[in-house]
A and B are shown apart, each in its own frame.
Chain A
């Protein structure tokens, strides 16, 4: 098993009667992209800030690289990079100056070339004369990621890095996050974008009302909680539907196309083998796999639109 980089046990954070984080357990392994997915107010940022050592839990423990986040964070601070949800760069400080500043705080010597390379990696090298306040939303986040990488961290927290960005800027950030994963960095990513978690994460935890409801790889979650795959048999007609019923599958007919529902744990390949064996005639077929959206809907009982839970 991979080395555990981050571990929380029985984490609780209360504000009066509100349980912002409710008895949360989690583990993050070295080199994985772990995504915490949930709507606004689910407790993601509170959880992340506890794990970053920037907020104290009411009870429970959390360890990063084996060190308690409340008592010993100083010992691992340089191994952790952080992009807060509300990241803003300093006004009137240009990107290369911001990087040099952060490098100084982490006690790292960076040449102008090193700084240029880092800014190039986040596609900001051409903005070296622009003050922080004049960068676009996406550029600010990219600068934030670059600053988080200055200390050459092994673990990087990215708290909703793409929230509020346009699709193009979001895709650009995905590429950066993917490149971090490619070089073996451990990434803790919070998001309310289902496709972001599905595209980037090795493992996803769906969080709602302070609790983690389910965890697993996107494939596991889809298979277990996505409600199964839909297979469309083109031209199979009413006869095909009846044959499917005999095999125990529910189906619907539309314009002689039959859509069959394949249960979650069953592989599409096995289903098609059964169809062929039963001699069901069809012209063509296509599969419609569920996504994390279905998983989220089935587990939480609502859909998310820009982080807002719609019941």
Chain B
């Protein structure tokens, strides 16, 4: 333990004194939150995979859904009317769902006759997901088409967007869990791959090989360091989220566990990548080549279900998918059952990658 602590302390000192490492670990995520938060907190635009609960089951609700389907922008799946809509969203981890309330048809008829206010359609979604704004735009456009059935009527039906989860949740409450998953991938994986390459090129591994420190202890020290760094990063993100955007998300114990296991996995994976590259620049390029597609396929920014089938298979094979899903489940939806399943998947993957990484790496010369 003292050896791990010694390596942890020395590595931490060197790390914090590296401006690049400090910037990417603690400052870069905050800048992303500020920039993306400012842009997407008031968003709007279109698209796909739309579960719909039609509690009205009337001519007008059928007409609306028929028009919606004709746009070709959505794949509509019906939710049974006796199902609890909010619970269904939570259980299925949906990023977009629509509910047509009882009396929708009557409201449309009244609005067409100018004897009542417009009917409303509830569209619930994750505001950080691009499909929420796309879906909202398309659903609103179709709702406005119903006005053609009347004379001199402009608003027959309106789409009411709502965030899933707690009513007070806003964009930032969904954005931060994704950002935590993103940072848990980038910080350890990108830097570990470069560090391994640098250590080998500069003879540090040989030097360490001359001490009683084992490879597993060295890797454990790195995992410990990145875990501490990630927890500090989360604390900063949390503080900025509250101070700047009045965020309401909660950091649950399950979220902490997911981050720790995620860091364990991605630190090991970074070390594994570092085994195969000759210099830090190549390591960085390899980590980017693997890391960035992983980010965009893991459901952090785009709905996995709306991707082509082959990409969905790839997404399901990516560990970041489970980290992002688990963090969103526990932090945004309060669904710890799904988060626990994701935790187990990440832990098993982490153990496998740790063992492979430790065995692949040799501190000896050839």
Q: How far is the CB of B77 from chain A (nearest CB, A)?
A: 56
In the complex, A243 Cα to B131 Cα: how many Å? 110
Q: Which residue of A lies closest to B217 (CB)?
A: A105
Chain B residues with CB below 8 A from A68, complex form: none
Chain B residues with CB below 8 A from A93, complex form: 10, 13-14
CB of A285 within 8 Å of the partner chain:
no
Among B200-208, B237-245, B285-293, B296-304, the one that faces the other chain is B200-208
Taking a contact as CB atoms under 8 Å apart, the answer to whether A104 and B206 are in contact is: no
Among B45-53, B269-277, B358-366, the one that faces the other chain is B358-366
Taking a contact as CB atoms under 8 Å apart, the answer to whether B5 and A104 are in contact is: yes
B residues 1-54 touching A (CB-CB < 8 Å):
2-3, 5-7, 9-10, 13-14, 17-18
Chain A residues with CB below 8 A from B13, complex form: 92-93, 97
Chain B residues with CB below 8 A from A82, complex form: 207, 210
Q: Which residue of B lies closest to A104 (CB)?
A: B6
In the complex, A258 Cα to B120 Cα: how many Å? 121
In the complex, A55 Cα to B2 Cα: how many Å? 27
Q: How far is the CB of A297 from chain B (nearest CB, A)?
A: 32
Chain B residues with CB below 8 A from A88, complex form: 202-204
Number of interface residues of A (CB under 8 A): 32
CB of A65 within 8 Å of the partner chain:
no
Q: Which residue of A lies closest to B207 (CB)?
A: A84
Taking a contact as CB atoms under 8 Å apart, the answer to whether B212 and A80 are in contact is: no
Taking a contact as CB atoms under 8 Å apart, the answer to whether B206 and A84 are in contact is: yes
CB of A23 within 8 Å of the partner chain:
no
CB of B211 within 8 Å of the partner chain:
yes
Taking a contact as CB atoms under 8 Å apart, the answer to whether B3 and A86 are in contact is: no
In the complex, A102 Cα to B3 Cα: how many Å? 9
**Contact flag A101-B9 (CB < 8 Å), given A77-B210, A106-B211:** yes
A residues 37-63 touching B (CB-CB < 8 Å):
49, 52-56
In the complex, A125 Cα to B16 Cα: how many Å? 24
Chain B residues with CB below 8 A from A102, complex form: 211
In the complex, A53 Cα to B3 Cα: how many Å? 20
CB of A175 within 8 Å of the partner chain:
no
How does the 8 Å CB contact mask read for A71-93 relative to B, with 1 for contact and 0 for none? 00010011011101011101111
Q: How far is the CB of A186 from chain B (nearest CB, A)?
A: 16
CB of A263 within 8 Å of the partner chain:
no
Question: B18 contacts which of A52, A92, A97, A101 (Cβ < 8 Å)?
Answer: A92
Taking a contact as CB atoms under 8 Å apart, the answer to whether A90 and B14 are in contact is: yes
Q: How far is the CB of B5 from chain A (nearest CB, A)?
A: 7
In the complex, A151 Cα to B6 Cα: how many Å? 14
CB of A131 within 8 Å of the partner chain:
yes
Q: Which of A55, A86, A104, A131 has the most CB of B within 10 A?
A: A104
In the complex, A25 Cα to B189 Cα: how many Å? 45
Q: Which residue of B lies closest to A147 (CB)?
A: B207
Chain B residues with CB below 8 A from A90, complex form: 10, 14, 204
CB of A100 within 8 Å of the partner chain:
yes
Chain B residues with CB below 8 A from A98, complex form: 10
Chain B residues with CB below 8 A from A104, complex form: 2-3, 5-7, 9-10
In the complex, A103 Cα to B209 Cα: how many Å? 15
CB of B213 within 8 Å of the partner chain:
yes
Taking a contact as CB atoms under 8 Å apart, the answer to whether A101 and B364 are in contact is: no
In the complex, A53 Cα to B209 Cα: how many Å? 8
Taking a contact as CB atoms under 8 Å apart, the answer to whether A105 and B203 are in contact is: no
CB of A107 within 8 Å of the partner chain:
yes
Taking a contact as CB atoms under 8 Å apart, the answer to whether B209 and A101 are in contact is: no
Q: How far is the CB of B289 from chain A (nearest CB, A)?
A: 26
Interface residues in chain B, defined as those with a beta carbon under 8 Å from any beta carbon in chain A:
2-3, 5-7, 9-10, 13-14, 17-18, 202-204, 206-213, 363-366
Q: A77-B210, A105-B211 given. 16 additional CB < 8 A pairs?
A: A54-B210, A81-B210, A82-B207, A84-B207, A88-B202, A90-B14, A92-B18, A97-B13, A101-B10, A105-B3, A105-B6, A105-B213, A106-B211, A106-B212, A107-B3, A107-B212
Interchain residue pairs with CB less than 8 A apart (8): A49-B365, A54-B209, A77-B211, A88-B203, A88-B204, A92-B13, A106-B212, A107-B2
